[in-house]
Structure 1
Amino acid sequence: MNGLWGHGLTEMVLDLGAISFVLALVSRSRRSLHPSTEVDLVNQNSIQQPSIADLQNQCRLLQVELHQQQEQLKTDFRDTTFELLQPLLTSLPTLRQLIKVKPDLPAHHLIALLAPLAHWLQDWGIETIGTPWEQVPYDPQLHQADADNYIPGEPIYIRFVGYRTPTQILHPAQISRTLPPFT
């Protein structure tokens, strides 16, 4: 998966840059040249520089290639994500039916069904922010408070974990000053 995103996305960005450059070049040359000057320059440089028609064709080809790469990325993303979540998705309808039939089923029996989510997060380099009911110092960058009067560094409790990558907070952990009453 890392190769797909690291390499495929880079190629897509480079292709977009190339397309933008070609379009800007074609647009600029059309605006800045008089018809007689354009013919003279094409005649003088026909061996060295591609014609506007060649650049337009190249641009169309790059656009088609970019569209194909986008479609392939979508397909690869869908297939890989489904593969990671397939055990959970397969078990979920059975779990719903089991809960209807046996509403008093202990929750610890259901935790194993959520293991694919942990694997998926790990494969994508996503980690949790905190542990439920853990006491930590308040950090406004990592935590979403239930009130406006929190002071950085004050002790708080994680109510619901957050998620982050090494470079980005995806969702801050939800916190409060007290633990839930049922703990």
Structure 2
Amino acid sequence: MSDFTPHLQDLIKQAGIPSLKALGRNAGVSERQILRLRRGEVKEIRVSVLAKLSQALKVSVSELVTGFSESSSVEPSVSTKNNENDLINRISELEREYSFLQQQVEQQKEILKQEFQQESLQVLESLLVQLPTAARACQENPQLPAANILPLVQKPLERLQQHWGVEAIASVGEEVSYDPQLHQLLDGTAQPGEKVKIRYVGYRQGEKLLTRAKVSPV
């Protein structure tokens, strides 16, 4: 059985990792997987584990496979041709699986990000709706007790909206044409296209409507 420990030690040194145990911790893999790598048993290691090791060692998955395979420790001969072909096929298979795993991870990250934003916006909905109206009232009457406190809340919330791509539907006090898809009447009646005044701001994120703006007829 070949010993690839010296080669592995060279790689961890280049990657700035102090020891084999530290490699396991950094990559999040067990000592058994490290031992398999040292023995050249790459074919026994799962693709997800190889991906973690490649990231920790800062080398590609294909470099790991070729560098820690039994066939790489012996001189080429007629008897090893089949093994070399098998190795090439295995590398191609691993690269495809690794690419697929990366795509899955990216998709999962995007899904989790969207879910987090949606849940956070649901929690903040009341604040998002009420704050602009309160801010307008403070502008009209600076003597209100909340006039000095509102900016401390409003500015971070505006930065969050900008970062997440959340846009306000008009502004408080603005007169707009009534659109039942975007506006919710608080009182009275209005036909589409008639003028209404924004009482409470609504929001949308991209093409998605988060909450309709609350309006009253002019």
Give the TM-score taking structure 2 as reference length.
Answer: 0.35
Give the TM-score taking structure 1 as reference length.
Answer: 0.41
